[in-house]
Amino acid sequence: MLLFINVPKQMIPIAGLGAQSAMLDAVVLANYLHHLTTNDSQDIERILNAYRNERYPHSRASVNKSASMAVVVRNSFAGSVVRWWLNHIPRWLWHILRAENGNCRPQISFLPLVEDRGYLISRL
């Protein structure tokens, strides 16, 4: 039996990056566990290392993005400037910035694949 606890990441809650990261972690881990054919400790260690190698860069990027988003919530001049900029950003640039969040879209490998139909744009 394996017990996993999603360790809280250093992210501000308003960005939703922690929840998004936890869901992606769960999908990737489910895929690795599904392909586990034995309960040998070496096999388990191998898939956990592969899981970490796959998810760590994305998790690190989410933590970094969350740290930069912290500027938005600060009650400071810099926060005011960033909030103004986000409210006046051109729509085409908003699409480009939001598309970066969808570059990691794992799917559960043992279920039928879901068609990629793009992403939903929402303004702040």
* Residue 26 near residue 59 (C-beta atoms within 8 A): no
What's the chain look like in SS3? CCCCCCCCCCCCHHHCHHHHHHHHHHHHHHHHHHCCCCCCHHHHHHHHHHHHHHHHHHHHHHHHHHHHHHHHHCCCHHHHHHHHHHHHCCHHHHHHHHHHHHCCCCCCCCCCCCCCCCCCCCCC
Report whether pLDDT(123) > 70. Answer: no
Instruction: Decide if 4 is inside a domain.
Output: no
Instruction: Decide if 25 is inside a domain.
Output: yes
pLDDT at 5: 52
Query: Smallest Cα–Cα separation from 115: which of 100, 123, 105, 124?
Result: 105
Instruction: Decide if 37 is inside a domain.
Output: yes
pLDDT at 8: 54
Residue range 10-27: average pLDDT? 76
Instruction: Decide if 109 is inside a domain.
Output: no
Residue 124: pLDDT band with limits 50, 70, 90:
very low
Instruction: Decide if 115 is inside a domain.
Output: no
pLDDT at 117: 67
Query: Smallest Cα–Cα separation from 27: which of 114, 121, 122?
Result: 114
Instruction: Decide if 54 is inside a domain.
Output: yes
Instruction: Decide if 51 is inside a domain.
Output: yes
pLDDT at 7: 54
pLDDT at 51: 92
Give tens-digit pLDDT for 27-83.
888 899 888 888 899 999 999 999 999 988 888 888 888 777 777 777 788 778 877
Instruction: Decide if 70 is inside a domain.
Output: yes
Residue 91: pLDDT band with limits 50, 70, 90:
confident
The residue range of the domain holding 84 is 16-102
Query: Any idea how long the chain is?
Result: 124
Counting the structural domains of the chain, the total is 1
